[in-house]
Structures are given as structure tokens and as C-alpha cells.
Amino acid sequence: MTIGELIPVLPAWFNGEGQDRDVVISTRIRLARNLANRRFPQKASLLERSQAFKDITEAFANSSRYGNFECVNCSGLTGVERLFLAEQKIISSELIDFEGDRGLIADMQQRICVMVNEQDHIRFQCLDSGCCPEKSWSDIDGIDDDIGGCLEFAYDKRRGFLTSSPVDSGAGLRASFVLHLPALILTRNIDQTLLAVSQMGMVAQSFFGEPSNVCGGFFQFSGIPAIGSTESEFLNNVRKVVEKTVECERTARQRILNDAVQELSDKIHRAYGILTHATMMDEVEFINLSSAIRMGMECNLFTPLTIPDLNRLTLLVMPAHLQMFHKRNMNSSELSILRAETVKKFFTTSA
């Protein structure tokens, strides 16, 4: 069985397509909404959460445009199944452990993913590959209007849409981008770049692993609209931040190719050697090593496989994915052994 057979369709945000895809992995536009005259999920009783879940899922089911969306109630899933959805990045880690009815409403491509009863009653999300904030916003704004016509959202004339976090109140809008920035790390320009990003109003954190620990050169940039700015102004501003970072990363890559291509090639092939010979491998080690392979592919120094194939492998070796596909629960040691076997088989078959 091949990786492609195990994960035949990649989530929309991880399919390796879109503008600036050599640096920008994905774009996510999120809108937070709460039902009027209801306590927010974290303060609501189990009965109140159940009623909110019922009202929201019925609004989608009765819609002529979204009636074919799939609804998943996380309260009926096992812990591994909930972690599987979190590893796909279509639900948050907070949604895993909340009590009561809560879950996900999504289209077949997992591009439109609506979290229900997370920190807010509704979190509309559009997840796309590459850099495309305007396109993602257009689609999620339309769904917000449609569902808002069926449900009454909590709104204050002075403060705007009311959310569980005061930071999100107003538009309830947040834009996030995942970028792969290994060259900026290798050239030691990453701190300067992240400082510039923060000065331009966005927050940067690690995408894989703990937010405070950089893993594999993957960063998530997130931003919210400034008071008084329109959605179009906000999206234009965050796009400029991302595009400037893309330019810096490409410049750093070219500098390495001009001045240290042999050292980069050695780094890539050392990573390949470990990936194809290790007998145990944890998740963080895989992300770090595969980042070197990804950079090699983006710089045309490593060509045996494609970015979508590497993305499939990245998902497959996550703990819940391994357990789901092998249909058994495993401890960390068993997962490390199976991960190493899976990675070795993948690379030796693809090479």
C-alpha cells in the first residue's frame, strides 16, 4: 500500500498548490461568531451547549447551499479520532478536550471547516494552499452572511460582534499563514525577520510542535484587523507582510545557493541518510529532517519525489494517523519504531 492510497486526498491547505507555494504552505481566514442571548461555550452548561450545537448544525443541514456538508460531533469520537482531526489542522487542540456536544461541519475537501462550540459557538474557517487571503475571505464571508440569515449572532452596535476573547471582538476576523523559512534560519536572519513581522502587526509562532519552539522552520503568522480598518485594508496589509517575508526567504535561499551550495547539499543528503536508516524516530525529528528535504526540493537539489507526496507522508507519520491507519493504539516507543519503518519504506520506494 502506498502513501497516496493511505491518504488519497490531501486537505485543501496542504495540497502543495497556490501562489508562492514554495514558501507559503497555507492561508487560513477565520471568523468567530456567537449566538445571541446565549452564554459562551466555556461558561455554558452541557444542556446549553447541546442546544447551541443542535441549532447551528440544523442551520447548515437546512441550507440549500451547505446541506451536503458533513457534521461530526466530537463527543461521539474516540480520543485518537479527535487527535486525527487536530493533526489535519481542521479542528483546534482546545476542541479535543471540551465536554459536551461540539464538533466540526466541513465540505468534502476540508476547505471550509466550521468549528462548533469551541471557545466561540461558531468559528468559520476557510483553509487554502498558498497565499490567497482575498479568495479565502470572499468565500468565508459569503457563508457568514448565509448562516447569519438563519441564526442571530451576538452583536453590539459599539463593539461589533461579541466573542469569547476581547481581542477578537469587532469583526471577529483573523488571518493566519503557514510559511517554511529554513533559509532565513540557516543565514541567521530569522530573528530580524520575525521582529519586522511583529512590528507590522502580526504574531509569529512555531506551526508544528509547541508554539514557542521552532520545529522544521515552519512558522505561523497571525493577525487581526486594527481598530477602524476595513476587511480589505486588513487583508491587503497581511498580504504585504507575507509577501515581504517570502521575498526575504527567497533571497536567503539564493544566497545559500551562490555561496554554500555544497554545504546545503550535504545537509539535505545527511537528512536523507537518517530518514532512510533510522530504526526509531519521534515526530519532531521527522519534521526537522524532512524540512531539509523540502528545502532541497524547493531549490531543485532533491528530485526523487514531489511536495504533495512529502505532505502525505508528513500527515501519515503523526501519532493519531499512524494509529488510525494501523487500527491499534500504540505507546510512544511503538509509534517511533513504526514511524521510522514507514518513512524508510516511503523514501526507498520513491527514490
Residues 6+ apart with CB under 8 A from 168: 32, 120, 174, 224
Joined grid coordinates for residue 235: 487583508
Contact 236, 242 (CB under 8 A): no
Contact 255, 187 (CB under 8 A): yes
pLDDT at 211: 63
Angle between helices 231-259 and 133-148 (to 10 degrees): 150
Instruction: Inform me whether the pLDDT recorded for 197 exceeds 70.
Output: yes
Contact 329, 323 (CB under 8 A): yes
> What is the CA 23 to chain-centroid distance, rounded?
14
Joined grid coordinates for residue 270: 545527511
- Give the number of other Cβ atoms within 10 Å of residue 250's Cβ: 15
Strand pairing class (173-180; 122-129): unpaired
pLDDT in tens, 23-41: 999 999 999 999 999 999 9
pLDDT in tens, 70-118: 999 999 899 999 999 999 999 998 888 888 999 999 998 889 999 999 9
Closest CA to 234 of 136, 145, 123, 128: 136
Contact 217, 181 (CB under 8 A): yes
pLDDT in tens, 129-139: 999 999 999 99
CA distance 275 to 344: 6
In this prediction, residue 212 has a pLDDT band, given cuts at 50, 70 and 90, of low
Does this model's pTM top 0.75? My answer is: yes
Closest CA to 151 of 63, 267, 266: 63
Joined grid coordinates for residue 107: 465540505
pLDDT in tens, 289-312: 999 999 999 999 988 889 999 999
CA distance 18 to 22: 9
Beta bridge partners of 180: 218
Alpha carbon separation from 183 to 98, 186, 334 (Å, rounded): 39, 5, 33
